[in-house]
A and B are shown apart, each in its own frame.
Chain A
Amino acid sequence: MTGGREHSLMRAAVLGVPWLWLSAFILLPFSIVVAISLSVATDAQPPYVFGPVLDNYRLIVEDTLYLAALGNAIRIAATSSVVCLFIGYPMAYAIARAQPRWRGPLLALVILPFWTSFLIRIYAWMTLLRPTGLINQVLIDLGIIDAPLQLMNNAFAVHLGIIYAYLPFMILPLYASIERLDPSLLEAAADLGSRPWRRFLSVTLPLTLPGIVAGTLLVFVPAVGEFVIPELLGGPDTPMIGRLLWTEFFNNRDWPVAASIAVALTALLVVPVAILQHMLAPREEAREVNP
């Protein structure tokens, strides 16, 4: 739309307010994190003195603790994403192929847990997995085991918690891409002699790939930095990078190391994901109407 001063004023406001907010509460904080990651920890208040030094980065690269925690987090997040995909794909497919009037309610049932508390859903598993929890009790009552199994505070429980908490994030984008799939494409493939499995592999799967990528990213990315799940369900043998950052900050009061973990994690995780998403995003036709 072309037009006068009023239009320019409005444009300035619509752009200006978010710019201010984003600068103050995202750009500035992250710049401060970068600055602190280059600082030296002290006992003063606040507990750092600006360097700039690269000691903190040297530490997190040289001390195997950090790399191990990062590797472990990536491994756990990747395994959980794949399991989510295998559970989520058939569910999303079934919902997308259900009668239209059932799709809404079925989808709502997937989303509903998301609206209840995340903490409480993790707590629910704690009550089930504990040595005196329901699963162990039932197994003992049935005489299958004599002593309680160690189901909690290990890698298994962390996987389970992540899969449970993030499954809806996998199903939603998968559903969206499967639902969009034109059924006549499958009919055409069938008409050309393709059998059901072959049809799935050669038509459905490639065409729903954007949903698969989106769902996997939605599970993988937050899972890598997850803190609550490893804290509540994990144990000493499941170090994860998000929990380590927390420990460095709150328990060791080492702000510079915590900040350098944040910067390193951003560089390793957020930047590649952003690039990947940018590449996968459909090209929008951002025709500038107002020159």
Chain B
Amino acid sequence: MTHRLAGGLLIALGLGYTFLYLPILLLIVFSFNESRLVTVWTGFSTKWYGELLRNERILDAAWLSLIVAACSATLAVAIGTLAGVALARYGRFRLRWLFAGLLAAPLIMPEVITGLSLLLMFVSMDQVVGWPASRGFGTIVVAHATLSTAFVAVIVQARLAGFDRAVEEAAADLGARPATVFWRITLPLIAPALVAGWLLAFTLSLDDVVIASFVAGPGTTTLPLVIFSSVRLGLSPQVNALAAIIVLVVSVLAAVAAWANRGRFA
């Protein structure tokens, strides 16, 4: 089998990547534009970066988003791991279909429905049991964890399915109690899945605007909510600068991850 791609395929690949990356690259280029009119080039400047870094509203929102993302990702990994273990290891437990269905619901449900239903639940809970008295940090964390749990569970389940179950049996056979098997064998073996799941959950939370719009209170504005409201009003050179920073950070992280994983692809 030859690995030389036909010309047509190369062109398709080239055009595809151009389509995916050109808008982002242009966005970054114009973040260095002096003019407020984003798309009219008047000269090189880094002033929008300066303005961005002095914009308290954006900085506060970014900080809040990072904390929400970290908390919800951690929660999602904890619950998603248990759910993934249940699906991969407990066979046909009672009501498995309902368990799997509820777990997968946020994967296929439009975000507006997930957001709406969580908000209506929080409102009703507040009426009935007095919690949550106000919506904000806690409700966003719960909502994002609910969204991400399904993704974590899928990743963990796939990882568990990929390794020899006899390894866990061998540990039990050598005298390890069920909890020891879980901590000493299962968890270390699915650790890469937990890391991947956490990062995915973190990104989903950091990226979400729809669900946060529903469940955030008036005082808690995450970064996507700030971007969304300013973009709705029109173009803003600060958003360009922010985009450039995000792309830079993500690229560096991706490069680091690729470097850390080098040689691990069998």
Q: Given A113-B24, A119-B207, is A95 in contact with B13 using a C-beta cutoff of 8 Å? A: yes
Q: Out of A122, A132, A187, which one reaches B37, CB within 8 Å?
A: A132
CA distance A98 to B82 in the complex (A): 38
CA distance A23 to B224 in the complex (A): 28
Question: What residues on A are CB-neighbors of B108 within 8 Å?
Answer: 221, 269-270, 273-274, 277
Q: Is A7 an interface residue (CB 8 A)?
A: yes
A29–B121 contact, CB under 8 A? Answer: yes
Q: Out of B10, B83, B103, B231, which one reaches A119, CB within 8 Å?
A: B231
Q: Given A32-B121, A90-B9, A164-B19, is A137 in contact with B247 using a C-beta cutoff of 8 Å? A: no
Enumerate A185-220 residues with CB–CB distance to B below 8 Å: 187
Q: Out of B3, B17, B105, B213, which one reaches A270, CB within 8 Å?
A: B105
Question: What residues on A are CB-neighbors of B26 within 8 Å?
Answer: 124, 127-128, 134
Q: Out of A26, A28, A105, A120, which one reaches B106, CB within 8 Å?
A: A26
B120–A32 contact, CB under 8 A? Answer: yes
Q: Is A172 an interface residue (CB 8 A)?
A: no
A116–B250 contact, CB under 8 A? Answer: yes
Q: Is B39 an interface residue (CB 8 A)?
A: yes
Q: Given A104-B265, A123-B227, A232-B232, is A91 in contact with B24 using a C-beta cutoff of 8 Å? A: no
Stretch at the interface among B49-57, B111-119, B187-195: B111-119
A134–B39 contact, CB under 8 A? Answer: yes
A167–B20 contact, CB under 8 A? Answer: yes
Q: Is B172 an interface residue (CB 8 A)?
A: yes
A265–B113 contact, CB under 8 A? Answer: yes
CA distance A112 to B169 in the complex (A): 39
Q: Is B258 an interface residue (CB 8 A)?
A: yes
Q: Out of B83, B112, B182, B239, which one reaches A10, CB within 8 Å?
A: B182
Contact with B along A138-175 (1 / 0, CB 8 A): 00000000000000000000000000100110000000
Q: Is A183 an interface residue (CB 8 A)?
A: yes
B116–A245 contact, CB under 8 A? Answer: yes
Report the minimal beta-carbon distance from B165 to chain A, rounded to whole angstroms: 9
CA distance A108 to B250 in the complex (A): 12
CA distance A226 to B109 in the complex (A): 11
Q: Given A25-B142, A112-B251, is A1 in contact with B179 using a C-beta cutoff of 8 Å? A: no
Give chain A's interface residue range (CB within 8 Å of chain B): 35 or more
Give chain B's interface residue range (CB within 8 Å of chain A): 35 or more
Question: What residues on A are CB-neighbors of B260 within 8 Å?
Answer: none
Q: Is B137 an interface residue (CB 8 A)?
A: no
Question: What residues on B are CB-neighbors of A164 within 8 Å?
Answer: 19-20, 23
A94–B5 contact, CB under 8 A? Answer: yes
Q: Is A258 an interface residue (CB 8 A)?
A: yes
Question: What residues on B are CB-neighbors of A255 within 8 Å?
Answer: 120
CA distance A98 to B203 in the complex (A): 29
Q: Out of A10, A29, A104, which one reaches B120, CB within 8 Å?
A: A29
Contact with A along B176-200 (1 / 0, CB 8 A): 0111001000000000000000000
Report the minimal beta-carbon distance from A235 to chain B, rounded to whole angstroms: 14
Question: What residues on A are CB-neighbors of B239 within 8 Å?
Answer: 120, 123
**Closest A residue to B206 using CB positions:** A117
Contact with A along B76-100 (1 / 0, CB 8 A): 0001001101100011110000010
Q: Given A123-B27, A133-B39, A249-B116, is A97 in contact with B246 using a C-beta cutoff of 8 Å? A: no
Question: What residues on B are CB-neighbors of A187 within 8 Å?
Answer: 1
**Closest B residue to A8 using CB positions:** B178
Contact with A along B151-182 (1 / 0, CB 8 A): 00100000000000000110010000111001
Report the minimal beta-carbon distance from B95 to chain A, rounded to whole angstroms: 9
**Closest B residue to A186 using CB positions:** B1
Question: What residues on B are CB-neighbors of A94 within 8 Å?
Answer: 5, 9-10, 12-13
Report the minimal beta-carbon distance from B260 to chain A, rounded to whole angstroms: 13
CA distance A2 to B86 in the complex (A): 16
Q: Is A251 an interface residue (CB 8 A)?
A: no
Q: Is A222 an interface residue (CB 8 A)?
A: yes
Q: 19 other contacts beyond A123-B227, A265-B110, with CB at 8 A cut-off?
A: A3-B172, A14-B82, A18-B79, A91-B12, A98-B3, A104-B258, A104-B265, A117-B207, A117-B224, A119-B228, A124-B23, A127-B235, A132-B39, A222-B111, A228-B210, A232-B232, A259-B120, A269-B110, A289-B91
* Closest 9 A/B residue pairs (Cβ): A225-B110, A90-B12, A29-B121, A29-B117, A124-B23, A94-B9, A288-B91, A18-B83, A22-B102
Interface pairs (25), CB distance under 8 Å: A3-B172, A3-B178, A14-B82, A21-B149, A27-B102, A33-B113, A90-B13, A94-B9, A95-B13, A109-B17, A115-B253, A119-B224, A124-B26, A124-B243, A127-B38, A130-B39, A164-B23, A221-B110, A225-B112, A242-B111, A246-B112, A265-B113, A266-B113, A270-B108, A274-B108
